[in-house]
A and B are shown apart, each in its own frame.
Chain A
Amino acid sequence: MLAPPIHCAGLVKRYADVVAVAGLDLTVNARECFGLLGPNGAGKTTTIEILEGLTAPDRGEVEILGMRWTGGANTRALRERLGIQLQDTQLADKLTVEETVRLFRSFYRAAHSVEEVLGLVGLEEKRGAWVGKLSGGQKQRLAVACALVSQPELLFLDEPTTGLDPQSRRQLWDVIGRFRAAGGTVLLTTHYMEEAERLCDRVAIMDHGKVIALGTPRALIASLGAEHVVEFALADGATRAPSPSELSALPGVRAVRPGLDRTALTVAEVHRAVPALLGLLERRGAELSLLATHHATLEDVFVSLTGRQLRDA
Chain B
Amino acid sequence: MRDHPLVQLTLARMREFYREPEAIFWVFGFPIVLAFALGIAFRNRGPGELRVAVLRGAGDSAMATALARAPGLTAAVLDSGEARLQLRTGRVALLVVPGDPLVYRYDSTRTESRLARLEADEVLQRARGRADPARVADQRVTEPGSRYIDFLIPGLLGMNLMGSGLWGVGFSVVQARTKKLLKRFMATPMRRSHYLLSFILSRLVFLFLEVAALVGFGWWVFHVGVRGSFAAVAFITVLGALSFAGLGMLVASRARTIEAVSGLMNLVMLPMWILSGTFFSYARFPDALQPFVKALPLTALNDALRAVMIDGSRLTELGAPLGIVTAWGLVSFVLALQIFRWR
Structural contact, A89 and B4, CB atoms closer than 8 A: no
Partner of A90, one of B5, B15, B181: B181
**Closest chain A residue to B5 by CB distance?**
A106
Structural contact, A89 and B181, CB atoms closer than 8 A: yes
Structural contact, B187 and A52, CB atoms closer than 8 A: yes
Min CB distance B129 to A, Å, is 80
Bitwise, A93-110 to B at CB < 8 A (1) or not (0) is 011000100111111110
Partner of B180, one of A90, A94, A102, A103: A90
Once A86-B187, A105-B3, A108-B188 are accepted as A-B contacts, the answer to whether A99 and B12 lie under 8 Å apart by CB is: yes
Structural contact, A92 and B16, CB atoms closer than 8 A: yes
Q: Which residues of A contact B138 (CB under 8 A)?
A: none
Partner of A106, one of B4, B15, B181: B4
Within 8 A of B (CB), among A62-117: 76-77, 79-80, 82, 84, 86, 88-92, 94-95, 99, 102-109
Q: Which residues of A contact B183 (CB under 8 A)?
A: 54, 86, 89
Partner of B12, one of A77, A88, A103, A146: A103
Partner of B181, one of A76, A92, A150: A92
Task: Give Cα A86 to B184, complex, Å.
Answer: 7
Once A86-B180, A89-B180, A89-B184 are accepted as A-B contacts, the answer to whether A106 and B8 lie under 8 Å apart by CB is: yes
Task: Give Cα A99 to B19, complex, Å.
Answer: 13
Partner of A80, one of B5, B15, B189: B189
B20 interface residue (CB < 8 Å to A)? yes
Structural contact, A99 and B189, CB atoms closer than 8 A: no
Once A76-B189, A89-B184 are accepted as A-B contacts, the answer to whether A94 and B179 lie under 8 Å apart by CB is: no
Structural contact, A103 and B9, CB atoms closer than 8 A: yes
Structural contact, B16 and A95, CB atoms closer than 8 A: yes
Structural contact, A99 and B181, CB atoms closer than 8 A: no
Structural contact, B181 and A104, CB atoms closer than 8 A: no
Min CB distance A152 to B, Å, is 11
Q: Which residues of A contact B33 (CB under 8 A)?
A: none
Once A86-B180, A90-B179, A92-B16 are accepted as A-B contacts, the answer to whether A103 and B187 lie under 8 Å apart by CB is: no
Which of B4, B7, B183, B185 gathers most chain A CB within 10 Å? B183
Q: Which residues of B contact A106 (CB under 8 A)?
A: 3-5, 7-9
Min CB distance A192 to B, Å, is 22
Structural contact, B343 and A54, CB atoms closer than 8 A: yes
Task: Give Cα A103 to B2, complex, Å.
Answer: 10
B186 interface residue (CB < 8 Å to A)? yes
Q: Which residues of A contact B11 (CB under 8 A)?
A: 99, 103
Give the interface size bracket for B toward A: 20 to 34
Within 8 A of A (CB), among B167-200: 179-181, 183-191
Min CB distance A99 to B, Å, is 7
Task: Give Cα A215 to B120, complex, Å.
Answer: 106
Q: Which residues of B contact A95 (CB under 8 A)?
A: 12, 15-16
Structural contact, B12 and A92, CB atoms closer than 8 A: yes
Structural contact, B8 and A103, CB atoms closer than 8 A: yes
Min CB distance B250 to A, Å, is 23
Q: Which residues of A contact B20 (CB under 8 A)?
A: 94
Q: Which residues of B contact A102 (CB under 8 A)?
A: 3, 8
Structural contact, B186 and A99, CB atoms closer than 8 A: no
**Closest chain A residue to B15 by CB distance?**
A95
Task: Give Cα A104 to B16, complex, Å.
Answer: 16
Q: Which residues of A contact B184 (CB under 8 A)?
A: 84, 86, 89, 91, 146
Once A94-B20, A99-B15, A102-B3 are accepted as A-B contacts, the answer to whether A108 and B180 lie under 8 Å apart by CB is: no
**Closest chain B residue to A143 by CB distance?**
B184
Q: Which residues of A contact B4 (CB under 8 A)?
A: 106
Partner of A79, one of B15, B189, B343: B189
Structural contact, B180 and A107, CB atoms closer than 8 A: no
Q: Which residues of A contact B187 (CB under 8 A)?
A: 52-54, 79, 82, 84, 86
Once A79-B187, A89-B180 are accepted as A-B contacts, the answer to whether A94 and B7 lie under 8 Å apart by CB is: no
Min CB distance B194 to A, Å, is 9
Which of A53, A79, A103, A105 gathers most chain B CB within 10 Å? A103
Within 8 A of B (CB), among A26-53: 52-53
Min CB distance A183 to B, Å, is 22
Task: Give Cα A53 to B184, complex, Å.
Answer: 12
Min CB distance B171 to A, Å, is 13
Q: Which residues of B contact A77 (CB under 8 A)?
A: 189
Min CB distance A272 to B, Å, is 53
Within 8 A of A (CB), among B8-49: 8-9, 11-12, 15-16, 19-20
Task: Give Cα A52 to B183, complex, Å.
Answer: 11
Min CB distance A50 to B, Å, is 13
Partner of A107, one of B179, B189, B343: B189
Q: Which residues of A contact B190 (CB under 8 A)?
A: 107
Structural contact, A94 and B16, CB atoms closer than 8 A: yes
Structural contact, B188 and A79, CB atoms closer than 8 A: yes
Min CB distance A174 to B, Å, is 23
Min CB distance B4 to A, Å, is 6
**Closest chain A residue to B16 by CB distance?**
A94
Min CB distance A88 to B, Å, is 5
Task: Give Cα A88 to B179, complex, Å.
Answer: 8
Min CB distance A146 to B, Å, is 8
Task: Give Cα A222 to B15, complex, Å.
Answer: 55
Task: Give Cα A105 to B188, complex, Å.
Answer: 10
Closest CB pairs A-B (n = 3): A90-B179, A106-B8, A84-B187
For the A-B complex with A86-B187, A89-B183, A107-B188 known, give 11 more contacts whose Cβ atoms are closer than 8 Å: A79-B187, A82-B187, A86-B180, A88-B180, A89-B181, A92-B179, A95-B15, A105-B8, A106-B4, A107-B190, A146-B184
Residue pairs across A and B with Cβ atoms less than 8 A apart, 23 shown, are A53-B187, A77-B189, A79-B188, A84-B184, A84-B188, A86-B180, A86-B187, A89-B179, A91-B184, A92-B12, A92-B16, A92-B179, A94-B15, A94-B19, A94-B20, A95-B12, A99-B15, A103-B8, A103-B9, A103-B12, A106-B9, A108-B189, A109-B189
